[in-house]
Amino acid sequence: MADSIRSLSGSEELTGQYATDTLKIDLPHVPLEAGASPANPPCPACGEPLFPWVGMPVATGIAHRCEACGLGVLSHGEKFDFEKRPGEAEPDDRKPRISFHFDPGSPEDALRELEAGREQDGSYVFENRDSLTCWLTGGAWVGLGTDRRYRFTPKAVTDLIATRDQVVTKTRWRPLKGIGVMWQSGLNMFTFGQNVVLGSLGRAHLVAADRGWKRMLDWFISVVLAVPAVIFALPLELIGIAMRKGSVARSEVQVL
């Protein structure tokens, strides 16, 4: 009997070791450069490929992002064009087709736009694409409702200004502005348009809905959800700041 028990425990130990060994998975590492193609051009900040991210509000374009530095590049006017699967009907050749070339621009273009957010002390203020707000709200993020081309992150700003011998010395957060961005992004999740309230106050770029009844409904939704949205926005933005993922960042720089 004792021999049987010892034999059983030995077999269990062997099985446990065998099971542990089989759980080791060695997946191949694929660099980001492998995704480079005409459809995924290089990021103006770090040179890694850009990939489609989300559609912009009211079908105004497509937002692309860099998986390395986080820079967002907005392609105004671009539409998603999915290839037909085998067996699907071919599109009618008589219908107009969308032909669009995505141009992410150059580092100089991104730096020129970054300068638009420069303050008197030389620091840069921008809506952070790497924020908790952006992660939670996705396509409803305030930063997508804009006429600008680039959406920055602290890492992207660091890479960009390095091309002109500058470094970021400190990144701070703007809590009050950040709470406003978190609040409006939350409202955007329920409206047809984008940035209805802040856009009307001149604090953000307004992207109005395409129909009158939709615009009226957007205002009704914004009024009804205003207070509940604040209740959620305040703690969430403070959590984001604690995680160093605030909605609005201020990067202080100096020349080497």
Per residue in 179-204, pLDDT (tens digit) is: 999 999 999 999 999 999 999 999 99
d(CA 91, CA 49): 30
Residue 212 pLDDT: 95
Residue 52 lies in a domain: no
Residue 207 lies in a domain: yes
d(CA 163, CA 101): 26
- Asked if residues 104 and 44 have their Cβ atoms less than 8 Å apart, the reply is yes
How large is the average pLDDT for residues 117-133? 95
Residue 18 pLDDT: 46
Bridge partners (DSSP) of residue 171 are 251
Token readout for 141 is 């993020």
Q: What dihedral do alpha carbons 147, 153, 157, 160 form, nearest 10°?
A: -70
- Structural domain of 188: 118-255
Tokens 């990144």, located at residue: 171
The confidence band for 102, taking pLDDT boundaries of 50, 70 and 90, is confident
Grouping H, G, I as helix, E, B as strand and the rest as coil, residue 178 is helix
Token readout for 23 is 């759980």
Total domains present in the chain: 1
Residue 220 lies in a domain: yes
Residue 5 has pLDDT above 50, yes or no: no
pTM over 0.75: yes
Residue 58 lies in a domain: no
Residue 1 lies in a domain: no
Please give the DSSP secondary-structure letter assigned to residue 29: P
Q: Which of 103, 116, 127 is nearest to 248 (CA)?
A: 127
Phi and psi at residue 195, to the nearest 5°: 60, 45
Residue 123 lies in a domain: yes
How large is the average pLDDT for residues 120-141? 96
Residue 78 pLDDT: 79
Residue 146 has pLDDT above 80, yes or no: yes
Residue 20 lies in a domain: no
Region class of 168: left (phi > 0), else alpha (psi between -120 and 50), else beta: beta
The confidence band for 160, taking pLDDT boundaries of 50, 70 and 90, is very high
Q: What is the CA 152 to chain-centroid distance, rounded?
A: 9
| Burial profile 25-64: b = 16 or more Cβ within 10 angstroms, e = fewer | eeeeeeebeeeeeeebbebbbbebbbeebbbbbeebbbbb
List, for residues 46-93, the tens digit of each pLDDT value. 999 999 999 999 888 999 999 999 999 999 887 766 555 565 555 554
Stated as kind and residue range, the H or E segment containing 135 is helix 132-137
d(CA 240, CA 237): 5
Residue 213 lies in a domain: yes
